Structure 1
C-alpha cells in the first residue's frame, strides 16, 4: 500500500502524489525554449524546504526524455554532498571538492582543474556531448555564496556564447542564494524566468487524501481534509506530514473513520511532541536575533508592507515563514502586506517565541496561595475583567519584589516603547500558569491579519481576551468595535480588551478601564500599566 511521504522526493509508485502537470510543462517549456528562440533558458527553480523542488526537477527530466530523447541529452546531479564546503582561498581557484563531484557525476569522468576547463565541458568541439544538453543542478544553495557567484558567471558567459557550446537549457535548484539576493552582482539570470514551486491547491490536497481513502478503505471526514489544507495552506511537506501522523502513527484503527477527534489529537501532537525538520528549521531562523523582533511585531501588526527587496522580508519569505498578501487599504489602494505562511507555522512560532521571550516559569506564584478565583468562575459566565485584575495584582507583586518583567524585552526602535507582542506573550504565559489546570488557554488567529486573541475554555464557560497597546482614545473606540464585531461573529455575548499602556498612574488606568455595550456585545476594557 502507498504511504504519505514528507521527507525527500515523492515516488508516485510508492507514495500518494499529485502529478502537477501544468507545473511540469512550464519547467519543460523553460528549458526547451521556443523554435523561434533556437535555445532554451537558463533559470532557477526555487522554493522553501520540503516543497517538492527535487521531485519537480526529476519529473521535468523524465518528461524531456520521453519527448526529446533523440534530440537532447538530459543530465541532473546535486551539490548536496558539498554542504559545508569552504570557499577557495583565491577567487580564481577551482575547488577540489567540486572537481571531484564533477568527475563523479559527468560522463567520461573529466578532471576539471580551473574555470576554463569547466567552460570547455560544454564546448561544441572539445566538450563531452554530441548533442544539445539540458542540465539540472539541485541543492545549489549548499555552495558558498562567492563560489555560486563564480559558477553562475561562467554559465552566463556560456549563455551569451551559445553558438559555441551545447548547453541548451539550465535549471539551478535551491532556496534563496540562486536568486542572487545576497550577491553584490545580483542574479546572473533573468529572475522573471525563475520558477517558484507553489503550494498544493485545495483540490490537490483533497486528491491526496482521496487516494488514501480509495486504497485503504478508511474514511476521512471532509472537514478533516479541509482543516489540513487550511492549517498548512497546502505546503507540500506539511500536508504529507499530517498525512503520516493521521493515517499511520495516530490512526485509531482502520475500521474507524478519521474524524475531528482524531484530527485534534494530531494537531496537538504536531505542535508539542512530534519533530519535523522543516518546522525546526523555521523556528531556528525565527529565533535569530536579526528576525525575532520583526516576527513578534507581525503577531500584532496588520499593515506591515511587504517588499521583496527588503532583506528581512525576502529572507523570511524565501524560507517559508512569511508571504505577501494583497489587501485593499481604507483609502482604496492595494498593497502587499506581510503575513505568516500558514496558521500552523504561525501557531508554532507563537508557542516558540513566547517561551523564548518570556520563559516557561514565573518568578513568583501567579496567584496568592489562598486565591480560589471565586469572582472569576463564580457566575454562569467567565469574569475576565476580574481575571485581568488578578494579573495586574501579579505585576504589582513583582514590582514590590523589585522584579521587572519588561527588562531587556523587545522595544520599538522609534520610541523605545515595549512592543505589543511582549505584553501578549507575558499575559498568555501568566494565564497558563494561573488557570491552565482548569481552562484551555489558546491563542487564536482569526483572520491572519496581525490579530491574536486569547481564548479561554473552562468547561462550559468561554471567554475572549484581545490584547492591545494604547495609541490614543480614538483608537480605543475602533478597538471596541472590532472586538465586538469579532465576538458577535462567534456568537459570544462579551469580550474583554487587555489594554497595555506605558503609564502607571492608577487614576489614568481606572478612567481607561470601561464597560460598554457595542452592537449588542458587552466590551470590557482593562487598562494595564507597563513601562
Structure 2
C-alpha cells in the first residue's frame, strides 16, 4: 500500500510518512535522565507525536537490553473521575494489558489483574510497581501516557502512590518513570472531592525535569514532504513549503492534515505527475477549515473555557495597551498549543488564527439573513460600499442583542464584522486575518475571483482595518490611515476601508454612523463609522 500522511493515532512507518522520533528530542538528555534514575515529565499539545515517541523509546530500550521498558496508556481511567477505587482498577488493568501485549508476560498480566480486582486499591498501584521491579531481571523503566486524563482524587492518588515508592528505586520500584500528557504536572490544579485544590507540583514533588516535545522545524517539514516525492514522484512547487510553514508553524497534526488534504483528497492531485501548487495548498486549507476535523473541533471546544477566554479575547480584540493576564492561564494556553512562542502573545499559526474567529461566530454566521448575490455587481466584482453600508445598518439594529450572546464581548465588534463578511464571502472568496495583542487593530485581506478561473485568474483585492476608538476620532483616523496604507501596499490591494467602532453607549447612532473618503500617501481610503 502507498504510504500517506497520518492524521490519526501513532505513526506506523510501514503505513505513514514518518520522521525519526529521536530527531525531535534531545536523546542525550533523555538517556541521561533515565540512566540517572530520574522521574520526569514529557508533555506537548494533542496530536504532536507523543505516543509514537514513547513507543519508540520503550522499544529501543528493550532492544538494547540494559532495561526492561514498558509503555502504558491510562486514559480509560478518566471515566472514573473522583472514584479512586474504580480509577485504580482501570489503571492496573491498563498495566496488565501492556505487560501482556508488549512483554508477552501472561503470568505478570494475570497477577496484576488479580490485584486490580481484590483488596484495597488505594495503595494497589504502589504494590504492583514494587512487585514488578523486584521480579525484573534488569532495571524497570515505565512510560505512562495520558496521565492528565485522570482528575481529582484519582490523579492525586496516582501521583502520591508513585511518590511513596520513589525511595525504593531501582530494586523495589521502577528505575525511571516518564509521565506523559498535554500539561506539565507542576501546572495541574487538582480539585479534590472535598473541595481542596492541590497543585501537581506538591503531589508529585519528585519530578526532576519537564521536557516539551516541540513542533516540526521547517527542515523537518521539508523532509516529510520529500518522503512523499520519493514514494510517488509528485513534486511541490516553489513556495509551497514556506506557505505550509506559515499555515501551521510546524504543528504536526496540521502539517500532516494539510498535506494529506492536498495530496490525497484533491482530485486533481491524484495524478502524481501534477505538482502541488500554492493554489492547491490554499484550496486544501479552506477545505480543512470548513470540515473542522476532530483536532480543530477540540480546539473550538477549548475556546469556551474561562481560562482560555481570558487570554484569547484580548488577542482577538488586538488590544493595544498593557493587559494583565494570569500567568497560569497563559501557560495553560501555551500547553494547549494555542499560542506562539515568545512575546507579545499571538495565536500559534495562521490556521488557528483563521479557525478561532470562525468558531466563535459560527452560529451567528449561519443565521444571518445575508446572501452573496446581493453584493455582486454585473461585472463580477463585490460592491464593498453596498456591503459595508448594509453592515452599518445591521450593526445599528442588531449589535446590542448579538454582542450580548458572545462570551468574548470585548472582541464583539471585530467578531461580528468578520461573521458578516464570512457569510457573504463564503460564496466564493477568501479572507485572511491579522490580529494580535499590542496591534491596536484587526487587519482583513479579502480576495474575490473575477472569472471562472477562480484564484488562479484575476482577483479583486480589498483590505479592511478595524479599530475601536480609545482616543479621539481624529487621532484614531490619522493613525489608521497610515496603518491601512502600509497594509494595502503590502497586499497589493485595489480598495482600502477603515472601520472605526465607537463603543461609547452615550453617543447617539446618528453621530456614530458615517462614511467619508480620504487619501493618504497616494491611496484612496474609505472611512466608516460604526
TM class by shorter chain equals 0.7 to 0.9
Contact 2:39 2:207 in 1 (8 A): no
1:469 matched to which residue of 2? 468
2:404 matched to which residue of 1? 408
Contact 2:81 2:87 in 1 (8 A): no
Contact 1:470 1:476 in 2 (8 A): no
Over 3 Å counting, the alpha-carbon distance change for 1:527 and 1:307 in structure 2 is: closer
Residue 56 of structure 2 corresponds to residue 59 of structure 1 = yes
Residue 322 of structure 2 corresponds to residue 300 of structure 1 = no
Residue 185 of structure 1 and its aligned partner are, at CA, apart by 3.6
Once structures 1 and 2 are overlaid, which stretch shifts more, 24-33 or 347-356?
A: 24-33
Structure 1 segment 34-73 matched on structure 2, within 5 A: 39-67=36-64, 69=65, 71-73=66-68
2:496 matched to which residue of 1? 495
Residue 307 of structure 1 and its aligned partner are, at CA, apart by 9.3
Structure 1 segment 416-427 matched on structure 2, within 5 A: 419=410, 421-427=411-417
CA–CA distance in structure 2, aligned partners of residues 440 and 381 of structure 1? 11
Contact 2:77 2:88 in 1 (8 A): no
Q: Of 146, 151, 169, which residue of structure 2 is paired with 1:144?
A: 151
2:391 matched to which residue of 1? 391
Contact 1:424 1:467 in 2 (8 A): yes
2:431 matched to which residue of 1? 442
Residue 30 of structure 1 and its aligned partner are, at CA, apart by 4.7
Residue 448 of structure 1 and its aligned partner are, at CA, apart by 8.8
Over 3 Å counting, the alpha-carbon distance change for 1:161 and 1:487 in structure 2 is: same
1:265 matched to which residue of 2? 283
Residue 220 of structure 2 corresponds to residue 204 of structure 1 = yes
Residue 200 of structure 1 and its aligned partner are, at CA, apart by 0.4
Residue 89 of structure 2 corresponds to residue 99 of structure 1 = no
Residue 258 of structure 2 corresponds to residue 237 of structure 1 = no
CA–CA distance in structure 2, aligned partners of residues 281 and 380 of structure 1? 38
CA–CA distance in structure 2, aligned partners of residues 13 and 27 of structure 1? 28
2:481 matched to which residue of 1? 480
Residue 101 of structure 1 and its aligned partner are, at CA, apart by 3.3
Q: How many residues end up aligned between the 2 structures?
A: 489
CA–CA distance in structure 2, aligned partners of residues 164 and 212 of structure 1? 47
CA–CA distance in structure 1, aligned partners of residues 438 and 181 of structure 2? 30
Q: What secondary structure sits across from 1:84 in the alignment? A: helix
1:36 matched to which residue of 2? none
Contact 2:433 2:445 in 1 (8 A): yes
Over 3 Å counting, the alpha-carbon distance change for 1:305 and 1:13 in structure 2 is: farther
Residue 82 of structure 2 corresponds to residue 75 of structure 1 = no
CA–CA distance in structure 1, aligned partners of residues 19 and 39 of structure 2? 27
1:332 matched to which residue of 2? none
CA–CA distance in structure 1, aligned partners of residues 133 and 307 of structure 2? 48
Q: What secondary structure sits across from 2:467 in the alignment? A: strand
Contact 1:31 1:171 in 2 (8 A): no
Once structures 1 and 2 are overlaid, which stretch shifts more, 343-352 or 196-205?
A: 343-352
Contact 2:308 2:329 in 1 (8 A): yes
Q: Of 332, 343, 349, which residue of structure 1 is paired with 2:350?
A: 343
Residue 60 of structure 1 and its aligned partner are, at CA, apart by 1.6
Structure 1 segment 147-226 matched on structure 2, within 5 A: 147-162=154-169, 165-176=172-183, 178-183=185-190, 184-187=198-201, 188-189=204-205, 193-226=209-242
Contact 2:315 2:436 in 1 (8 A): no
CA–CA distance in structure 2, aligned partners of residues 423 and 393 of structure 1? 14
1:247-299 Cα offsets, whole Å, 9 max, x none, are 212152122112223222211211113x5221111111213466446534322
CA–CA distance in structure 1, aligned partners of residues 133 and 222 of structure 2? 51
Structure 1 residue runs without a partner (length 5+): 34-38, 327-336, 413-417
Residue 502 of structure 2 corresponds to residue 505 of structure 1 = no
Residue 79 of structure 1 and its aligned partner are, at CA, apart by 0.9
CA–CA distance in structure 2, aligned partners of residues 179 and 393 of structure 1? 51
CA RMSD in angstroms, aligned pairs only: 3.6
CA–CA distance in structure 2, aligned partners of residues 502 and 42 of structure 1? 53
1:373-419 Cα offsets, whole Å, 9 max, x none, are 7xx969999875564334323445x37xxx9444524488xxxxx52
